Structure formats: C-alpha cells, structure tokens
Amino acid sequence: MACSIDHKRIQEIMSELPIDQGGIGRHKCAACAYEEGFRRGVNGEDDFNIHEIINDLEESQAQNQRHKSPHAAFAKGYYDGINEYYNTH
Ligand SMILES: [Zn+2]
C-alpha cells in the first residue's frame, strides 16, 4: 500500500532530512514516520520497537519525503514530540 496522506504541514521538515542511502527503510513514508515519532514523543512513550514501527509504515514516493530516511524522520518527530510534551507539562 502507498501512503495517500497529504503531508503538507511538515514539508519543510521533510526537505531537511537525509536521503535513505543504505536502503534500510527503503520506500517507507518518512512523513508518516515523523508523525508516528511525534505522536509517541508528545505522549511521553518510551517503550517501542523502531524496526517494527517502520516496517508497518505505508510506502511513499511522493513530495519532499521521497527517498528520505524514515529512521531520521522518526527520531526528529520523537524529538519534536518530546519538546512539545515538556512545553505542555
Ligand atoms: Zn505518509
């Protein structure tokens, strides 16, 4: 399945992510990875398996998330989510 979400809100963040050189998260939607990381960070979650999360993502060849690292995207999303968590607690 391919991701059909319009990740308009986070295109600037996507443009700054590294390219997935090694292909370990090949074709997975980096924007969905960012959103999933953010959701977990903002909820203060710290018990999860990144491999399983990225494996479960939809694929994407669209917009600025094309070929971007879903691992870096997840980490950036988690970081932003944790910051948001601190700002609201
Ligand atoms: Zn997506």
Rounded alpha-carbon distances, angstroms, from residue 41 to 8, 54, 61, 75, 78: 21, 16, 26, 9, 5
Cα of 47 from ligand 1 centre, angstroms: 23
Q: How confident is the model at residue 16 (pLDDT cuts 50, 70, 90)?
A: very high
- Cα-Cα end-to-end distance for the chain: 37
**Predicted local confidence at residue 23, as pLDDT:** 76
Q: Are 51 and 12 in contact (CB under 8 A)?
A: no
Distance 83 CA to ligand 1 centre (A): 22
User: Measured in angstroms, how far is the CA atom of residue 32 from the centroid of ligand 1?
Assistant: 4
What digits encode the pLDDT tens for the residues 39-86? Answer: 999 999 999 999 999 999 999 878 888 899 999 999 999 999 999 999
- For residue 56, the SS3 value is coil
Please tell me the predicted confidence (pLDDT) of residue 52. 95
Phi, psi of 19 (to 5 degrees): -70, 145
Distance 79 CA to ligand 1 centre (A): 18
CA 88 / ligand 1 centre spacing (Å):
26
